[in-house]
Chain A
């Protein structure tokens, strides 16, 4: 099948659907292509809340400063200003759409504290904020009648004269490959957590968009900046929201000590995530952990606060660890959570490649720099989702509809047929993925070193070779997930390679990127973004662009 639209959006999480709604409002013919039903998108897993300077005692400048400081000064301050200035009206718009935000006594939006913030500015719905935003936005998409190609898996971007004019997608239910043409594509496909084991991310977060855009020529920026969340559940690695600490929970070591007083005497448990995760890792490494974990203690918050404001994590600890947090502390540890880096964009979601826009976790504007503050990711998705929807619709007006693409469709068809006919040689997709992801966690995780990263790079090259031998364990057409898993593993290898390259070259410690052999931040040499550009043969090309500073000079960062 061949279909034509003005704007195609890859991904139906918050960024993608917000972009779709905005582009539709601007009169564009919009369609969303998503490999899972929109409601299954990983935005629903965001728990704690969304930041904005809404209350009278707050200012957008304060929010912006906290964000810049949290980023370890790697965020572009002009972009942060845009996000923080537009945050209040974007959140209010969601309230008008029907999100049932928590209210204060006056019936106005009520807030909670979050990490790295100088005052409470996180707005929320219990501990299901992402889900509450996602279902509301999905229903708005239904109301607006936006076309959704549901369970369609994007395999390639359609490029014409150096510009992106659509994509090829596999319809899971029929196994048919389709050409969808457009004037612009917004990549809003989310993160890459499956590249790490363990991770808080869903099984669908496989870096598809990073890889497709990268191979189409869009540079990836600051890929080394991979966030480890301080509180992931022992064993499963599921997310225990920062809102627990926002509501007042303690972090304890094996001696029952609130150890954060050593690392962040002012903010304690509410220091930025990179600081808190490293503090936990240090405690565990120095023998004050409990089976590789520390404890998250909520008991003093009381039953009511836990059941009313944190019901989901209460249920998760019960379901997966048999621990009732009302009565017992919960063992947690740092775990891979978020990719700050991504497809380089401007504040309108535009990339270096005409026709490719990006928004949400897959994009790097950069508002998170070296470390994202909790409750800034939902904000990122709705502000820059909206902006990229609007800008792409405007761009589409000046672009003629593409007439080509059939060659690419045939090439992709041939590629998939080849893949399906590959003989089984003993190499499994799942086995290779697990080796890759375990390696990434060990060598490209919370702590990194020159030697470790070089080993990682070598390992990755080995994985790439072995990837050529991975067979597809299902020869059917209908809902062939074995096929899409192999494609996803290919995306993850690209992501891994760019992360390792960036981490290897950035010889300093900044934000989430901690080099044990270069423990200090080095503004002299490294107050700049890294760009990784795809090259047909060999390693990605590395280049740099300056960080945009507007009003905040880099300072020593303490909490």
Chain B
């Protein structure tokens, strides 16, 4: 079968494109680099071929100057995450037929990562975040003797296999909406790895980890866009792990942060009136006594008012709100 591939090319030396600086600096997130060029190739491959088969065929027999990272070809090594038709995917796991739009497949390095060359991006931001969550076991005492394992139920290990299945391909970070506007956000992969250790019964630093993760850039900076869950090729579902961390952090008492206040403001408003009071949401999230923080939000408020997006000044409860309150009671927990 014939497939048409449009490949985003970039070469800072200007040998295959006329561009300037190598993409070693970070940010820019969502770099819409004008130097990027798209080159079209046609390849003859079996019907069930994947995008990587096409890239390898191009590199081997049409254009040896095409740079692309790949190794295992079977979704184990994590090398070949890239943008395919505008979303991060593993090239080795994406069937060409399924990714053909208007007769072609567009492949490029994700604009969220600094570019090195062609389909090769600079993974430094990804690995820095990975390192930032201290992704190693801090052994719980007593450490068993050298010939003995920690005794833990299999269920506790099974619980972590989802996070251990992560192949560090970075597809989640490449498409993370929060990372796109805030380069300091730890991002889905690192937070999933943080849960891998928080959730490990053999780890001794659960509290310290949760305290660290509750800071800005941590678990509360995720906006629930679900891109990471959708893009992860290994079913790690990073957002699920982030939500588990939030619950553990709140349960452990790390509530003095905008994230928890924001969640609390949501819950108490719904409990109180059966719907969201958007007028109080912002001051409650920022902190009632955080005058400076609230003043900083004023420009946004003016803009919203100008655009006619301000919520009604008088907030009314919905009819039958008592039944909502009963639900809160039934569920229990912090808002009973």
Interface residues of A (CB under 8 A from B): 36-37, 39-42, 44-45, 88-89, 92-93, 95-98, 100-110, 125-126, 128, 131-132, 135-136, 139-140, 142-143, 173, 202-204, 236, 238, 308, 312, 315-316, 319-320, 322, 428-431, 472-482, 485
Separation in Å of the A333 CB from the closest CB of chain B? 16
Interchain CB contact under 8 A, B149 and A320: no
Residue of B nearest to A485 (CB): B64
Q: Which residues of A contact B168 (CB under 8 A)?
A: 39, 135
Most buried by B among A41, A42, A203, A322: A203
Interchain CB contact under 8 A, A42 and B72: yes
Q: How far is the CA of A485 from the CA of B56 in the complex (A)?
A: 12
Interchain CB contact under 8 A, B12 and A478: yes
User: Which residues 126-151 of B have a CB within 8 angstroms of A?
Assistant: 127, 131, 134-137, 139, 143-144, 146-151
Any A CB within 8 A of the CB of B120 = yes
Q: Which residues of A contact B73 (CB under 8 A)?
A: 202-203, 236, 238
Secondary structure of the B contact surface, majority rule: loop
Q: How far is the CA of A114 from the CA of B64 in the complex (A)?
A: 42
Q: Which residues of A contact B12 (CB under 8 A)?
A: 478
Residue of B nearest to A100 (CB): B157
Interchain CB contact under 8 A, B146 and A92: yes
Interchain CB contact under 8 A, A39 and B71: no
B76 partner, pick from A44, A107, A136, beta carbons under 8 A = A44
Interchain CB contact under 8 A, B76 and A131: yes
Interchain CB contact under 8 A, B147 and A44: no
Given A89-B147, A473-B65: A40 touches B71 (CB 8 Å cut-off): yes
Interchain CB contact under 8 A, A39 and B78: yes
Given A39-B78, A89-B147, A319-B93: A428 touches B72 (CB 8 Å cut-off): no
A479 partner, pick from B64, B67, B197, beta carbons under 8 A = B67
Separation in Å of the B75 CB from the closest CB of chain A? 7
Q: How far is the CA of A128 from the CA of B70 in the complex (A)?
A: 19
Given A39-B78, A203-B70, A238-B73: A322 touches B48 (CB 8 Å cut-off): yes
Any A CB within 8 A of the CB of B301 = no
Interchain CB contact under 8 A, A482 and B64: yes
B149 partner, pick from A95, A105, A142, A315, beta carbons under 8 A = A95
A428 partner, pick from B24, B61, B68, B93, beta carbons under 8 A = B61
Q: Which residues of B contact A131 (CB under 8 A)?
A: 76, 164-165, 167
Interchain CB contact under 8 A, B60 and A430: yes
Q: Which residues of A contact B165 (CB under 8 A)?
A: 128, 131
Q: Which residues of B contact A136 (CB under 8 A)?
A: 136
B160-183 vs A, Cβ < 8 Å mask (1 yes, 0 no): 110011111000000000000000
Most buried by B among A105, A110, A202, A477: A202
Inter-chain CB contacts under 8 Å: number: 171
Given A107-B151, A238-B73: A125 touches B164 (CB 8 Å cut-off): yes
Q: How far is the CA of A60 from the CA of B76 in the complex (A)?
A: 32
Q: Which residues of A contact B72 (CB under 8 A)?
A: 42, 44-45, 202-203
Any A CB within 8 A of the CB of B22 = yes
Q: How far is the CA of A320 from the CA of B63 in the complex (A)?
A: 26
Interchain CB contact under 8 A, A36 and B164: no
Interchain CB contact under 8 A, B167 and A39: yes
Q: How far is the CA of A221 from the CA of B317 in the complex (A)?
A: 82
Q: Which residues of B contact A105 (CB under 8 A)?
A: 154
Residue of A nearest to B65 (CB): A474
Q: How far is the CA of A177 from the CA of B241 in the complex (A)?
A: 42
Any A CB within 8 A of the CB of B312 = no
Q: Which residues of B contact A322 (CB under 8 A)?
A: 48
Separation in Å of the A210 CB from the closest CB of chain B? 18
Interchain CB contact under 8 A, A430 and B61: yes
Q: Which residues of B contact A103 (CB under 8 A)?
A: 152-154, 157
Residue of A nearest to B71 (CB): A202
Q: How far is the CA of A107 from the CA of B151 in the complex (A)?
A: 5
Q: How far is the CA of A320 from the CA of B52 in the complex (A)?
A: 12
Given A40-B77, A101-B157: A107 touches B152 (CB 8 Å cut-off): yes
Q: How far is the CA of A56 from the CA of B68 in the complex (A)?
A: 49
B187-204 vs A, Cβ < 8 Å mask (1 yes, 0 no): 000000000010010110
A478 partner, pick from B13, B154, B160, beta carbons under 8 A = B13
Q: How far is the CA of A98 from the CA of B69 in the complex (A)?
A: 29
B153 partner, pick from A36, A95, A107, A473, beta carbons under 8 A = A107
Separation in Å of the B197 CB from the closest CB of chain A? 8
B3-39 vs A, Cβ < 8 Å mask (1 yes, 0 no): 0000000011101100000101000000000000000
Separation in Å of the A438 CB from the closest CB of chain B? 14
Any A CB within 8 A of the CB of B116 = yes
Interchain CB contact under 8 A, A93 and B146: yes
Any A CB within 8 A of the CB of B297 = no
Q: How far is the CA of A495 from the CA of B85 in the complex (A)?
A: 40
Interchain CB contact under 8 A, B15 and A476: yes
Interchain CB contact under 8 A, A96 and B74: no
Any A CB within 8 A of the CB of B79 = yes
Interchain CB contact under 8 A, A100 and B149: no
Most buried by A among B16, B60, B76: B76
Residue of A nearest to B137 (CB): A98
Q: How far is the CA of A140 from the CA of B60 in the complex (A)?
A: 37
Q: How far is the CA of A89 from the CA of B70 in the complex (A)?
A: 35
Q: How far is the CA of A485 from the CA of B122 in the complex (A)?
A: 21
Q: Which residues of B contact A95 (CB under 8 A)?
A: 149-150
Q: How far is the CA of A473 from the CA of B15 in the complex (A)?
A: 12
Interchain CB contact under 8 A, A89 and B146: yes
Q: Which residues of A contact B75 (CB under 8 A)?
A: 315-316, 319
Any A CB within 8 A of the CB of B123 = yes
Any A CB within 8 A of the CB of B117 = yes
Q: Which residues of A contact B166 (CB under 8 A)?
A: 135
Q: How far is the CA of A42 from the CA of B74 in the complex (A)?
A: 12
List the 3 closest A-B pairs by CB distance, nearest first: A473-B64, A430-B60, A98-B137
Q: Which residues of A contact B93 (CB under 8 A)?
A: 319
Q: How far is the CA of A473 from the CA of B59 in the complex (A)?
A: 10
Interchain CB contact under 8 A, A312 and B76: yes
Q: Which residues of A contact B197 (CB under 8 A)?
A: 98
Interchain CB contact under 8 A, A106 and B149: no
Interchain CB contact under 8 A, A126 and B161: yes
Interchain CB contact under 8 A, A135 and B154: no
Q: How far is the CA of A240 from the CA of B248 in the complex (A)?
A: 38
Interchain CB contact under 8 A, B161 and A125: yes
Given A92-B149, A316-B74, A475-B15: A481 touches B135 (CB 8 Å cut-off): no
Q: Which residues of B contact A44 (CB under 8 A)?
A: 72, 76-77, 167
Q: Which residues of A contact B63 (CB under 8 A)?
A: 473
Interchain CB contact under 8 A, B77 and A45: yes
Interchain CB contact under 8 A, B74 and A236: yes
Q: Which residues of A contact B153 (CB under 8 A)?
A: 103, 107
Most buried by B among A128, A316, A430, A481: A481
Given A204-B71, A322-B48: A142 touches B154 (CB 8 Å cut-off): no
Between-chain CB contacts (< 8 Å), 8 pairs: A36-B71, A96-B144, A108-B149, A125-B157, A238-B73, A428-B64, A475-B15, A476-B11
Given contacts A100-B200, A478-B22, A479-B116, 9 further A-B contacts (CB under 8 A): A36-B69, A96-B144, A96-B150, A98-B137, A100-B160, A131-B76, A202-B73, A476-B65, A479-B120
Separation in Å of the A501 CB from the closest CB of chain B? 29
Given A40-B78, A45-B76, A479-B67: A92 touches B16 (CB 8 Å cut-off): no
Interchain CB contact under 8 A, A107 and B154: yes
Q: How far is the CA of A45 from the CA of B167 in the complex (A)?
A: 11
Q: Which residues of B contact A238 (CB under 8 A)?
A: 73-74
A98 partner, pick from B16, B22, B131, B136, beta carbons under 8 A = B136
Q: Which residues of A contact B67 (CB under 8 A)?
A: 479-481
Residue of B nearest to A424 (CB): B64
Interchain CB contact under 8 A, B143 and A96: yes
Interchain CB contact under 8 A, B136 and A478: no
Q: How far is the CA of A475 from the CA of B64 in the complex (A)?
A: 10
Separation in Å of the B237 CB from the closest CB of chain A? 14
User: Which residues 38-95 of B have a CB within 8 angstroms of A?
Assistant: 48, 59-61, 63-65, 67-79, 93
Interchain CB contact under 8 A, A128 and B164: yes
Residue of A nearest to B93 (CB): A319
